Structure 1
Amino acid sequence: MAILEAMYSDARFDMQHMTFFASALTSESRWNSTSHGTAPFSRVRFVTNFVDPQSTTDKLAVRGRAALKAYLDTLIPSDLPVEYTAQPMLPTLSYPALEGYLAVRWAAEALSRMPSINQSLFLDAIYARHLFFIDGVTLGHPFHRCHQPHHRNC
């Protein structure tokens, strides 16, 4: 982020003709804020294999938007640390927010399989499952022989 801001202030860079690509997971919370799409971030594009977060048919996008709405409906901004309120959140689902939603669902599913919660048991729950199937998205090692949700090793 600091690099983009520095480049915008340096006349040697023709920022109007440059495009930047970033993994949505590495884009931090700022990309889900009102600064998304504005200088110095207007030429940032996300590299992701997700469907459009605004899809009206994809289960992951539909449930992600519902979860974001439920979160925003119950959010008390004054309870948040100041660094979380410096850039207001977008009230709509973006690619980084969709990936964040999926990560939380994945962790919650792993935690739900644990008799008690600690770091070792969490890792055991992840490795024992191999693949997770969440709303049509598969998470896990791509070379594992488990290809079906009901396979004996899944």
Structure 2
Amino acid sequence: MVGRIVFVMGKEGVLPRSFGRTHRTQQTPHRAILAFAPLAVLTTAVMYAGGVDGNEILINVDTFGTYGYMIAYAVVAVAAPIFLRREGVRLALIWPCVVISVVGMAYVFYANVVPWPTWPLDAVVLAFFGVVAIAAAWYAYLRIARPEITRSIGTTETDFPEMA
């Protein structure tokens, strides 16, 4: 999953464009995968060396990803009425759906961090906050320094024609 995300970010110029290239014959985002796979292996190795059980490692890595999905779902919920308005679509129930979605995601996140979790889940939460802070800072930088890139975010189509 991270490989595909990094691939699209490379295609759109958010990350180095080399990440946005696919394998010549296989059409896989091999550069993005090869760049970030070692991070996944290292994270697992560090947690295991720190005495974290294998099942706990899986739970913690999945939890990190789930936090990201929750943020993404909330952002999409907020963006939906903006997009629909631009497209000239009026839906009476859009705002109640937005509120329910955002409040629901916020509650689930809150329930996962209050009371503050113990090791190793506390490190997962802190790592997630760190990644979000870095991403927000990078976005702010791009918005000022390279606004054409921020305007292109989300415009890449990732489907490939079927190979014969």
TM-score range, shorter chain: under 0.3
TM-score (normalizing by structure 1): 0.24
TM-score normalised according to structure 2 size: 0.23
Larger helix fraction of residues: 2
Structure (1 or 2) with the greater strand fraction: 1
Bigger relative CO (Cα 8 Å, ≥ 6 apart): 2
